[in-house]
Structure 1
């Protein structure tokens, strides 16, 4: 069944990837109407999340953010598909970096790094970094249920040099690279919600106490890898800008959980600047505590 779904869907995705960007965004406008107005994909979750973290905003203001988010989500989905057919040159025009020297300084000192990402703006096109650096690039991800699409996603990321590894594989890969003297950079999406059972650390996020994933910080400390945050701004449709911010240059000297706290402070700043680019369909606050900050229960 997985193979059949792949054989049916892949030709459509391949065809979309060959379209010029002006048609990609016309298609995104149509997809937005279907997803937002007809399917109403996770609108209840999005609405409750926005009400939870922005209680001071009016319903009209939250509704505006909601619609803008869904349009961005459709854009990003089709941009991900477009990655299959985009050239390295085109991608580098559409995702620019403001301070590559910050990253290259670590390379010059033969230091591998971990870059923290949230589900904000575009994390898919951060592979535009690969041609600029000499580190071997790794993206840590969750394996897809459909093994055929999982293989396809790996191939797409590998076009510019990024190797995808699962969360379970990351420890072994980092240990081997360190032992072999491989200069590497690891990109990790670190704003997901862990289960209560696996939660080791709780802290405020957008003013609400929630469990935090601390795996990226743990790896930084274990392998003495400087921690960076890539702040991504959406300049306009199909154009993004990335700026590196150093969270910890010497992670083993930083108190426990301070790197995680610094990361989430940066994520909060980005959300407050342009909330429509955060992925509100995620149930990020579902495991919050029952204290005074629990303003609304998200199902």
Structure 2
């Protein structure tokens, strides 16, 4: 059955990936009507999250953000499909690194690097940075239940020299790379909610105390990695700019959880500046104090 679903859906995805961007975004407008106005995909979760995170705004202001968010969500989903066939020139024109020298300087220090980012703006096109890196690149992700679609995601990422690893594979692979002196860069999307029974640290995020992922910080301490925060800004439809900020070059000497807390504050800044580009469909505040 899973293979049958894949066979039915794949040609549709491929056709979408071949659309020129003007038609892609025209189709996105149609998807928005279906997803938001007809289906109402996770609309209750989005409204609860916006109410919790942005209580200082009026209902009308949050509704405007909600609608803008769903427009962006549809764009981002179709942009992700577009990566099946997008050229290097096109993606590098649309996702621009403004201060890549920050990353390049850390590579010269000959230590592996952890990149912490949020589910904000375009976190899918971040992989285009692998065109410019010399370290081996790994992206940590949640495995898709359908193995055929999971393989497709791996195939797409391999076009950008990126290797996907599941959370269960992360520690063994980092350990093995460290043992073999394989300099690597690891991407951590660390802003979502961990399981409550796996939480080692609670912190305030958007004014609410929640459990937070600490893996990027703790693995950086254990394996002596430099840490970067990657901030993505949506310039206009289909165009993004990324900037990098060093969080630590000696994580072992930083008190536990200080780097994680700093990361959360930077993510908050992004959200307060332009909240419609955050991934509000996830139940980020399902565990809270």
The two structures have a TM-score, normalised by structure 2, of 0.99
Taking the aligned partners of 1:192 and 1:55, their CA distance within structure 2 comes to 20
* Corresponding residue of 1:59: 59
* Corresponding residue of 1:13: 13
* Corresponding residue of 1:265: 265
Taking the aligned partners of 1:175 and 1:53, their CA distance within structure 2 comes to 37
Unaligned runs of 5+ residues in structure 2 are none
String of CA shifts for 1:247-272, please: whole Å, max 9, x gaps.
Answer: 11110010000110011011000000
Taking the aligned partners of 2:241 and 2:128, their CA distance within structure 1 comes to 11
Unaligned runs of 5+ residues in structure 1 are 290-299
* Corresponding residue of 2:108: 108
- What are the within-5 Å matches in structure 2 for residues 50-129 of structure 1? 50-129=50-129
1:192 and 2:189 equivalent? no
CA drift at 1:147: 0.2
CA drift at 1:200: 1.1
The 3-state SS of whatever aligns with 1:86 is coil
* Corresponding residue of 1:24: 24
String of CA shifts for 1:120-167, please: whole Å, max 9, x gaps.
Answer: 001100011011111111101111000000000000011010000111
Taking the aligned partners of 1:108 and 1:118, their CA distance within structure 2 comes to 26
* Corresponding residue of 1:226: 226
Aligned residues: 289
* Corresponding residue of 1:295: none
Q: Which moved more, 1:195-204 or 1:275-284?
A: 195-204
* Dislocated runs of 4+, deviation >3 Å: none
CA drift at 1:100: 0.8
Taking the aligned partners of 1:123 and 1:55, their CA distance within structure 2 comes to 26
Taking the aligned partners of 1:228 and 1:109, their CA distance within structure 2 comes to 14
Taking the aligned partners of 1:197 and 1:176, their CA distance within structure 2 comes to 27
String of CA shifts for 1:105-134, please: whole Å, max 9, x gaps.
Answer: 111121210001111001100011011111
* Corresponding residue of 1:137: 137
CA drift at 1:181: 1.6
Taking the aligned partners of 1:137 and 1:200, their CA distance within structure 2 comes to 27
* Corresponding residue of 2:44: 44
CA RMSD after TM alignment: 0.7
Taking the aligned partners of 2:52 and 2:176, their CA distance within structure 1 comes to 43
* Corresponding residue of 1:156: 156
Taking the aligned partners of 1:200 and 1:118, their CA distance within structure 2 comes to 19
The 3-state SS of whatever aligns with 2:90 is helix
Taking the aligned partners of 1:53 and 1:101, their CA distance within structure 2 comes to 34
Taking the aligned partners of 2:136 and 2:5, their CA distance within structure 1 comes to 33
The two structures have a TM-score, normalised by structure 1, of 0.96
CA drift at 1:180: 1.5
The 3-state SS of whatever aligns with 1:246 is strand
